């Protein structure tokens, strides 16, 4: 049959010229290598155990090192993790200290308000003990005064020179830690006192030597290494508040 009668032709198409094939390959870009099979990589490393050990550059890129006995360890990565752990712990410690300091300052400001509301010297002593227990979780709070006769109600009497004796000399303004010689200031609570904070006070004119003392059942609440700034601040408030009323 001829073409007018609908006959199909099975002639082979002419081949593509080599130049056009090269141009097409260039346009398509370089062939992408197939991703390695994990099982094949594992098998290769098992059959060639020295491959990693002998390639220091590859070990460094992977964060690995070879220790004695041909043991491959994640030393650099372990050090990084340890550094991060230390940084996290130090950051947490700083946050805890800052939070504790903020809480202590807030309680101190509240204590100042309590002290300023005192109605007389006896009420001032009661408020010192109350805030020690309720605000700071301590065992007791005491105001002591050097005097010849009786001190104000609720205050503890001291003989002349006893403030210097309790503070371990005439110069120290404060003493933190445990001082057995001060246990008598706490009366019936003395048996549970394991640490204390004492700050020197000077009240009225002529000046009378006194002490603001806080006692705790926890030996770590007051230690010699601690600063006495907050306790000293409260002592100044007690001084100024006490001077509202004359010493009879």
> What is the per-residue pLDDT across 100-131, written as a single tens digit (0 to 9) for each?
777 777 788 889 999 999 999 999 999 999 99
What pLDDT does residue 183 have? 97
Distances (CA, A) of 58 to 7, 52, 53, 223: 66, 7, 9, 54
Residue 195: band (very low, low, confident or very high) from pLDDT cuts 50, 70, 90: very high
What is the chain's alpha carbon radius of gyration, rounded to the nearest angstrom?
A: 42
For the chain, list the domains and their CATH numbers. 119-242 (3.30.450.40)
- The top-scoring range by mean pLDDT among 35-39, 73-77, 125-129 is 125-129
83 sits in the region (left: phi over 0; alpha: psi -120 to 50; else beta) called alpha
3-state DSSP percent of the chain in helix, strand and coil, to 5: 50, 15, 35
Residue 97: band (very low, low, confident or very high) from pLDDT cuts 50, 70, 90: confident
Q: Rounded to 5 degrees, what angle do the CA atoms 35, 36, 37 make? A: 115
Q: What is the pTM of this model?
A: 0.62
Beta carbons of 234 and 177 less than 8 angstroms apart: no
Q: How far apart are CA 198 and CA 28, in angstroms?
A: 86
Q: How far apart are CA 181 and CA 165, in angstroms?
A: 9
Mean pLDDT of the chain: 82
Q: How far apart are CA 98 and CA 14, in angstroms?
A: 85
DSSP-derived pairing of the beta strands 140-146 and 156-158: parallel
Beta carbons of 142 and 186 less than 8 angstroms apart: yes
Bridge partners (DSSP) of residue 146 are 158
> What is the per-residue pLDDT across 124-169, written as a single tens digit (0 to 9) for each?
999 999 999 999 999 999 999 999 889 999 999 999 999 999 999 9
Q: Is residue 31 pLDDT above 60, yes or no? A: no
**Residue % of the chain over a pLDDT of 90:** 51
Beta carbons of 178 and 205 less than 8 angstroms apart: no
């Amino acid at each position: 049959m001829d073409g007018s009668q609908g006959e199909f032709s099975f002639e082979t198409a002419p081949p593509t010229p080599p130049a056009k094939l090269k141009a097409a390959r260039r346009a398509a870009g370089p062939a992408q290598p197939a991703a390695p099979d994990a099982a094949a990589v594992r098998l290769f490393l098992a059959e060639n155990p020295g491959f990693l050990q002998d390639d220091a550059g590859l070990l460094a890129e992977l964060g690995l090192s070879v220790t004695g006995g041909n043991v491959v360890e994640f030393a650099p990565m372990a050090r990084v993790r340890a550094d991060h752990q230390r940084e996290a712990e130090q950051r947490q410690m700083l946050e805890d200290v800052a939070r504790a300091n903020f809480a202590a300052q807030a309680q101190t400001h509240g204590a100042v308000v309590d002290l300023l509301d005192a109605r007389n010297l006896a009420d001032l002593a009661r408020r010192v003990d109350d805030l020690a227990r309720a605000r700071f979780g301590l065992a007791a709070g005491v105001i002591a005064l050097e005097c010849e006769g009786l001190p104000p109600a609720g205050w503890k009497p001291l003989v002349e020179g006893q403030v210097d004796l309790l503070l371990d000399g005439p110069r120290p303004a404060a003493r933190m830690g445990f001082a057995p010689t001060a246990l008598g200031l706490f009366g019936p609570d003395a048996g549970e006192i394991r640490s204390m904070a004492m700050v020197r006070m000077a009240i009225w004119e002529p000046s009378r030597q006194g002490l603001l003392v806080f006692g705790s059942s926890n030996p770590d609440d007051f230690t010699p290494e601690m600063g006495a700034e907050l306790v000293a601040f409260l002592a100044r408030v007690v001084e100024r508040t006490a001077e509202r009323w004359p010493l009879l």
